């Protein structure tokens, strides 16, 4: 009877060791939960970015206004019948960033 009790205690200790310190332990579980939350937050940001990109693609496919806006803002293009004026402040001319 004494050896059976000892064997059960050793078995319980081995199982407890695996539970707390072994592979797939409680510490691993909490670490993976943190990684999961981090990955979910990253996925939300990427989904938001994808929605914005899809909206840009839809705008570019459906109308010329978005294309013209991008050409004006990003490339600095103007129409043939337009005149472009660039205004400089005195600070821009002197090269100061006060």
In angstroms, rounded to a whole number, what is the distance separating the alpha carbons of residues 78 and 71? 8
pTM above 0.85, yes or no: no
| In contact, 26 and 19? CB cutoff 8 Å | yes
In angstroms, rounded to a whole number, what is the distance separating the alpha carbons of residues 25 and 19? 5
Tokens 């579980």 belong to which residue?
29
Q: Is pLDDT at 52 greater than 60 in this prediction? A: yes
| Per-residue model confidence as pLDDT tens digits over 74-95 | 887 888 888 877 778 887 677 6
- The mean pLDDT value of the chain amounts to 85
């Amino acid at each position: 009877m004494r050896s059976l009790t000892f064997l059960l205690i050793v078995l319980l200790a081995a199982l407890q060791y695996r539970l707390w310190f072994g592979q797939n332990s409680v510490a691993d579980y909490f670490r993976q939960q943190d990684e999961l939350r981090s990955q979910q937050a990253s996925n939300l940001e990427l989904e938001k970015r994808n929605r914005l990109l899809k909206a840009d693609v839809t705008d570019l496919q459906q109308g010329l206004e978005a294309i013209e806006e991008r050409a004006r803002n990003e490339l600095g293009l103007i129409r043939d019948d337009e005149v472009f004026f660039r205004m400089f402040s005195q600070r821009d001319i002197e090269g100061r960033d006060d």
